[in-house]
Amino acid sequence: MRTSALVAVSAGTVITGLLAYAAYFDYKRQSDPEFRKSLKRDNRKLAKAVKQEEEAHGAAQRESIKAAIQSVKAEGFPTDLEEKESYFMNQVAKGEGLCSEGDNQIEAAIAFYKALKVYPQPKDLISIYDKTVPKEVLEILAEMVAMDASLNLGGTFTGDPDAAPSADNHGVE
């Protein structure tokens, strides 16, 4: 017997076996109620395990975001206008570079967050981020903004990114 004929017979046997198994599985699925129940039960277990894993991953990500915000605040921010401009440009460039690499989304979001903290009109910058930053990074950045109560999104800049706006800044007497 030639090698090509042996290979063809072996391949035919394997394909026939797979087709027979598929037909048997389909028959069992359609006719055996216990088999259907066990399939549903297995699917529910798998869905529950996936959901728990996603929740654990989300909780771990929230903790890492919280830790990142605290470390960024501990580093501090520049106070001089020229230093702020330079810092802003460096952080935006770093964030864009990390986004293009695509491997560390949290680091990219941290860089955009740092730029946001020194920008005089954070609301305007957020609208620019909406158009330019990838969705995954933008979601992480949104969580960071939500966790930071000191971030002033009103558009008035007091010079200290950690300072809350006072009544004098809004023209209220």
Query: Residue 104 — pLDDT band, cuts 50, 70, 90?
Result: confident
Tokens of 24: 């048997």
Percent of the chain at pLDDT > 90 equals 25
Kindly state the average pLDDT of the residues 118-125. 86
Kindly state the average pLDDT of the residues 59-69. 86
The pLDDT value recorded for residue 153 is: 65
* Closest listed residue to residue 104, CA positions, set 76, 78, 134, 69: 134
| Residue 29: pLDDT over 80 | yes
CB–CB of 111/95 below 8 Å? yes
Per domain, the residue ranges of the chain are: 80-170
- Cα 77-81-84 angle, rounded to 5 deg: 40
| Residue 35: pLDDT over 60 | yes
Predicted TM-score (pTM) of this structure: 0.59
- The better pLDDT of the pair 115, 154 is held by 115
